[in-house]
Chain A
Amino acid sequence: MMMNDMAQGAETSSGRRIGEVILDLQNISLSFGGVNALTDISFNVREHEIRSIIGPNGAGKSSMLNVMNGVYHPQKGKILFRGEPRQKMDPHTAAAQGIARTFQNIALFKGMSVLDNIMTGRNMKMKCNLLQHAIFWGKAQKEEIEHRVKVEEVIDFLEIQSIRKTPVGRLPYGLQKRVELGRALAAEPSLLLLDEPMAGMNVEEKQDMCRFILDVNDQFGTTIVLIEHDMGVVMDISDRVVVLDYGKKIGDGTPDEVKNNEDVIAAYLGTSH
């Protein structure tokens, strides 16, 4: 509990200063009919940190992310984003506030090229209307090129220059995950939600992805909420970890604290009877 309220100003693993609480979840409960997906969960996310959510399958991790960016609406509890309470919000509002995410099962736009997918990520920042798009001259073209420059920065950052014109459906799994990260980054989010970005990858791909996540956190100061099953990765790159099991919070703190938490050990390894 002590470390849970880690002092503001402490260094993150990547050397960033941890700032104020930007997302505060208080007593969140979410149920679908009779199934309780989340029960009375409270934790917060501080600016610039890498916050991991772990737990066995079905623990409610993805539901938690869906609550954060407005896809699900919790029946109980309060969410404060940058100190502002929000009760009901749609994903559009979340995107406007600077929350971007990736999905557990790749949710790219399969028929579009890598470039178009990442360009779509800048949707919220493109202001021209349909008529201007139809004429595609002057303002619309200028806007398209401005955003293309930003998108090319993301492409360079993720080292996917060679595949920018490839339809994403033709790419191997690991690259698709990278493109999805690119699409989220293109929105220049302040809070980035990553749902199992390393699932199904081999060791090298995981190392690449870890590097990108740490670089995003370090270079852009983006706050990251991460769901991941690879404990090595989680313990290495997270500043704080929250552990869910059966929709309840069973642990919260630094990686070391969580590792030694008895409830967590019981949830993962079982207990002797």
Chain B
Amino acid sequence: MLYREAGQFKATYQEDQQIFPIRQDRVGMAVILAFFFAAVPLIASEYWLQAILIPVLIFSLAAIGLNILTGYAGQLSLGSAAFMAVGAFGAYNFMLRIDGMPFLLAVVLGGLCAAVVGVAFGLPSLRIKGFYLAVATLAAQFFIVWALVKFSWFSNYSSSGVISAQEVNILGFAFDTPILKYLLTLAIVAVLALLAKNLVRSATGRRWMAVRDMDVAAEVIGIRPMRAKLSAFAVSSFYCGVAGALYAYTYLGTVEPEGFNLDLSFKILFMIIIGGVGSMLGSFLGAAFIVLLPIFLNVSMHTMFGDSLPAGLGSNLELIVFGGLIIFFLIVEPHGLARLWALAKDKLRLWPFPH
């Protein structure tokens, strides 16, 4: 009964084109933002902030990046982690080599480095599609990690290839506690998510989706597939790059190239598949699912069996249940959690009537 759009008339196209045309959605979004910006810092423990909320936010950003490329522009990629690495090492080097480099600018520049690299590795998409393109982006994944290890200039000649993120300092204000790092991450992710949403509802987004859905027709309408695909690669890699920089600066503190391996790329791919391909909300839900589920399983294993299980068996059981749940979700709703949410909203609008 509460979720009704009845009585909400739109008199202008501007009202009709809002991101949340229904009032209840707008209120809901405001409540969610207020909760995460104001309430969470007050109630969340350090563990929650550092081990759960910050990584969920960062992975959401990376998932938005991959979703732009795969979900909206239809180009499959297995190189997301590598683009994150470019962003992380890019931001690190800008901070290191330029005196007085503002942190936010370094993050943006790191993202732009990733965008340039992304466009370069996106060039094969002009010729090949689908799984074959995925294999081509696999080259990006291996090449970039290899290059970051091989040329130790990138890690400032550290013997192990590990970089330690510099202190985060914006306008003389140090972001050194988990709460501040969380708020900084949240603010960046919120702004970038809004920009991404704007992009996909604009002509740029329609060009991407047109190329995804029917490239011949898109071309006949006057869309240049090359421009659409490469811009998707650029924006997607930019988002992954910023996520990578945050991964280094607000989450881990120290990163090495090997940390951005194929496993991480797959993890991000799973996030968008489970969350919902071609959905902004799905990027967040997928990231939360993939980060939280293993922790949840771990905790519930411990409460169920205590310490009676051998350590190896316990962790393997977790993996088995994790895999099983992913398969279960994909069978129940192949379009992801975001679709489940949309279906629930449709039902809610009619409730308590079935039709």
Contact = CB atoms under 8 A, between A and B. Distances in A.
A3 interface: no
A211 interface: no
Interface stretch (B27-35, B203-211, B308-316): B203-211
Contacts of B167: none
A90 B132 CA distance: 26
- Bin chain A's interface residue count: 35 or more
Interface in B156-213: 195-196, 198-199, 201-207, 209-210, 212-213
B42 to A, nearest CB: 32
Interface string A157-187: 0000000000000000000000000010001
Indicate the member of B14, B218, B219 with the most A CB atoms within 10 Å.
B219
Indicate the member of A96, A116, A134, A148 with the most B CB atoms within 10 Å.
A134
A183 B217 CA distance: 10
Contacts of B214: 107-110
B302 interface: no
A112 B217 contact: no
Given A112-B206, A130-B204, A92 B222 contact: yes
Interface residues of B, number: 32
A145 interface: yes
A109 B213 contact: yes
B55 interface: no
Interface of B is mostly: helix
Given A91-B222, A135-B195, A123 B206 contact: yes
A155 B243 CA distance: 41
A95 B199 contact: no
A253 interface: no
Contact of A144 (B17, B210, B235): B17
A92 B205 CA distance: 18
B210 A120 contact: yes
A67 to B, nearest CB: 13
A172 to B, nearest CB: 19
Nearest to B205: A133
Contact of B221 (A71, A116, A120, A148): A120
Contact of A126 (B14, B203, B209, B278): B203
Contacts of B231: 130
Given A109-B217, A110-B214, A112-B206, A124 B222 contact: yes
Contacts of A119: 203, 206
Given A134-B198, A144-B202, A145-B17, A110 B213 contact: yes
B79 to A, nearest CB: 21
A111 interface: yes
Contacts of B224: 92
Contact of B199 (A92, A123, A130, A187): A130
A116 B209 contact: yes
A109 B212 CA distance: 8
A128 B209 CA distance: 18
Contacts of A96: 222
A124 B222 CA distance: 6
A149 B14 CA distance: 11
A136 B209 contact: no
B203 A91 contact: no
B221 A121 contact: yes
A71 B220 contact: yes
Contact of B198 (A90, A121, A136): A136
Contacts of B201: 136
A84 B179 CA distance: 67
Given A96-B222, A123-B223, A103 B198 contact: no
A119 B206 CA distance: 8
A52 interface: no
Given A107-B216, A135-B195, A140 B202 contact: yes
B13 interface: yes
B309 to A, nearest CB: 45
B221 A136 contact: no
Interface in A56-109: 69, 71, 90-92, 94-96, 100-101, 103, 107-109
Closest 6 CB pairs of A and B: A95-B222, A133-B202, A136-B198, A107-B217, A109-B213, A124-B222
5 contacts: A109-B209, A112-B209, A134-B196, A141-B14, A145-B13
Interface of B: 12-14, 17, 195-196, 198-199, 201-207, 209-210, 212-214, 216-224, 231, 235, 278
Interface of A: 69, 71, 90-92, 94-96, 100-101, 103, 107-112, 116, 119-121, 123-124, 126, 128, 130, 133-136, 140-141, 144-145, 148-149, 152, 183, 187
Given A91-B219, A133-B204, 9 more contacts: A91-B220, A92-B219, A100-B221, A112-B210, A116-B209, A119-B203, A130-B204, A133-B203, A134-B202
